[in-house]
Amino acid sequence: MLFICTGNTCRSPMAAALFKQKAEEAGLSVDVASAGVFAEQGMPATSQAIEVMRKRRLDLTEHEAKSVGMLQYSPNDLLLTMTRSQARMLVAEYPQLAAQVHTLREYVGEEGDISDPFGGDYAEYAATAAELERLIKLLVDKLMQ
């Protein structure tokens, strides 16, 4: 399972951490990672993302951004983006992955993009984290079926 956003410093690392927590609680064994379509290798998670996740007892302090192009994919990997434009970019660059690429919202039966809190205040990060947490719960439920 790979969560993908733009810079891999807020949405996708938060989604990956939340998914790992919820999957473990549900007894699901799934490898999880995150990456960005325009990530600068090695960048840390933003301080707001770290703080928002700390409140959920999740630690992003060791996170280092990774570029989508630096990762290996298997035919069974599910690649979940935060926006439709990220999904389109991924499919344009890696057409062989088209069947595996979805937005997180689309995959759980919803429409729309997940807003990017980058550059925003703590409240914006908290709202994005709450939205991700809700969507991740739906994702885990879907995978458990």
Place of tokens 């992955």: 97
- C-alpha 143/C-alpha 128 separation (Å) is 22
Specify whether the CB–CB gap between 124 and 132 falls below 8 A.
no
- Residue 10 known to be catalytic: no
Q: What one-character DSSP code corresponds to residue 111?
A: -
The single residue of 56, 77, 113, 116 carrying the catalytic annotation is 116
Half-sphere exposure of 136 (CA within 13 A, CB side): 27
Return the axis-axis angle of helices 122-144 and 47-54, rounded to nearest 10°. Answer: 60
- Residue 11 known to be catalytic: yes
The single residue of 11, 59, 105, 141 carrying the catalytic annotation is 11
- Residue 5 known to be catalytic: yes
The single residue of 5, 54, 59, 121 carrying the catalytic annotation is 5
* Active centre residues (catalytic): 5, 11, 116
